Amino acid sequence: MELFQLSRANSVSEAIAAGAASTTAQQGAEVRLLAGGTTLLDLMKLNVERPARVIDISRLPLDTVEDMQDGGVKIGATVRNADLAVHPLIRERYAVLSQALLAGASAQLRNMATTGGNLLQRTRCVYFRDTAMPCNKRDPGSGCAALNGFNRTLAVLGVSDACIASNPSDMNVALTALDATIHVEGSTGRRSIAIDDFYLLPGETPQRETVLEPGDLITHVTLPPAPPGARSLYVKLRDRASYEFALASAAVVVKVVDGRIAHARVALGGVGTKPWHSPEAEAVLMGGTPDMATFQRAADAALAGAKPRSQNAFKVELARRGLVHALTQVTQTV
Ligand SMILES: Cc1cc2nc3c(=O)[nH]c(=O)nc-3n(C[C@H](O)[C@H](O)[C@H](O)COP(=O)(O)OP(=O)(O)OC[C@H]3O[C@@H](n4cnc5c(N)ncnc54)[C@H](O)[C@@H]3O)c2cc1C
């Protein structure tokens, strides 16, 4: 771990001004914001992140969950994952988000981890976290050791020849199925970004993971009102029952009216280079009957573009089955 200067931001504008001093928004940035620290400090200890300045934003007044006039909800960037998971508004209206949060990490980590930090958590690809190995995401142009190496846990959707690192978050999969919007404040003003547009595919520039610019601070996330009568569910499949990242996961929001699917949102986790929204699966589901044949066709559509490597072909079938299971459960009449 390298020496760094630690200071605390007393206001949003102070945090933005400090962050703007950085010239690169991605890894290696000179200035980093510190929220819960559960990603950043790990990576600093591994010398993957080497900021000269760390700005503590954990005490900014961005820690509330608020009901909005339109029936949606506003989630502050520093709301802890543990608090968000059990908040009555989230449990009542957005069950899939509560379930995804509780499926992540451990109780201690959830007590520290924040909404903003979770949105920006980095991949668990072992080569990204090992500075002795080539990794285009950590060290652009150095190559990708995962392509022909240990790739069992890595992505099959959205991959490129430069990077197959999977996005590890559970929360972000649920936020994708819930059509979340990320609100950002930076030196050029405020922006609101649909979660589908927030993450970038690796392509030739895997070091750039989101559309954020240096100095951008995530202030909050909003969710639109939950469609009346819709039900939602998060299914996570992993090597052990707790304290483990997803090999594959599915977040679904579905509404059935008169025996037909009238609303469908599908997102997959563990298999994509970003939280994976599947409009292809939704197109199959919309207007269809909620039965096994429809669900299997939807899952086939979701995984049609999968490009597995030597060790992770099993994820294609795992994700397909996970999605069918989630759709079956969420449409079951009680
Ligand atoms: C052992 C272990 C197991 C885990 N298991 C899971 C799991 O099963 N599922 C899962 O989803 N996650 C898991 N995680 C990841 C965990 O959820 C994340 O580390 C956590 O959500 C990150 O939040 P944080 O507030 O601690 O982020 P930090 O580490 O503080 O920050 C992460 C990044 O986000 C930036 N940042 C933070 N807040 C803002 C903001 N408001 N605006 C702009 N930039 C910001 C920071 O600068 C940093 O680059 C695990 C982590 C560990 C260590």
DSSP 90-142: HHHH-HHHHHHHHTSS-HHHHHH-BHHHHHTPPP--TTTT-TTS-BTTTSTTS
Match 């069918």 to its residue by tokens: 324
- For residue 27, what pLDDT is reported? 42
Q: Which of 13, 57, 121, 123 to mutate to test the pocket of ligand 1 (most atoms within 8 A of CB)?
A: 121
Domain that holds residue 24: 5-56
Does a structural domain hold residue 81? Answer: no
**pLDDT higher than 50, residue 64:** yes
**pLDDT higher than 90, residue 157:** yes
Q: Strand pairing of 217-223 and 181-186? A: antiparallel
Report the 10 Å Cβ neighbour count for 6.
10
Q: What angle do CA 270, 234, 263 make, to 5 degrees?
A: 110
Stretch 125-147: mean pLDDT? 98
Does a structural domain hold residue 292? Answer: yes
In the reported structure, the alpha carbon of residue 190 is separated from the centroid of ligand 1 by a whole-number distance in angstroms of: 23
Does a structural domain hold residue 204? Answer: no
DSSP 269-289: ESSBSS-EE-HHHHHHHTTS-
Q: What is the mean pLDDT of the chain?
A: 95
77/87 Cα distance (integer angstroms)? 15
In the reported structure, the alpha carbon of residue 269 is separated from the centroid of ligand 1 by a whole-number distance in angstroms of: 16
Nearest CA to ligand 1 atom 43: 217
Does a structural domain hold residue 76? Answer: no
Q: What would the pLDDT profile of 244-276 be if each residue is shown by its tens digit?
A: 999 999 999 999 999 999 999 999 999 999 999
Give alpha helix (H) positions in the chain.
Answer: 12-20, 40-45, 81-86, 88-93, 95-102, 107-112, 115-119, 171-177, 195-198, 279-285, 292-303, 314-330
Confidence of residue 30 (pLDDT cuts 50, 70, 90): confident
Q: 43, 42, 34, 107: which is closest to 77 by C-alpha?
A: 34
Does a structural domain hold residue 245? Answer: yes
- CATH (domain of 259): 3.30.390.50
φ and ψ of 232, to 5 deg: -135, 155
Q: What would the pLDDT profile of 4-15 be if each residue is shown by its tens digit?
A: 999 999 999 999
263/273 Cα distance (integer angstroms)? 26
In the reported structure, the alpha carbon of residue 118 is separated from the centroid of ligand 1 by a whole-number distance in angstroms of: 4
Does a structural domain hold residue 100? Answer: no
Does a structural domain hold residue 284? Answer: yes
Q: 142, 166, 139, 167: which is closest to 152 by C-alpha?
A: 166
Number of domains in the chain: 2
Confidence of residue 20 (pLDDT cuts 50, 70, 90): confident
Nearest CA to ligand 1 atom 1: 105
Q: What would the pLDDT profile of 74-109 be if each residue is shown by its tens digit?
A: 999 999 999 999 999 999 999 999 999 999 999 999
Give yes or no for a contact between 118 and 172, defined as CB atoms under 8 angstroms apart. Answer: yes
Q: Which of 16, 48, 114 to mutate to test the pocket of ligand 1 (most atoms within 8 A of CB)?
A: 114
Q: Pick the atom of ligand 1 nearest to 219's CA.
A: 41
Domain edge (last residue) among 56, 71, 96:
56
Does a structural domain hold residue 42? Answer: yes
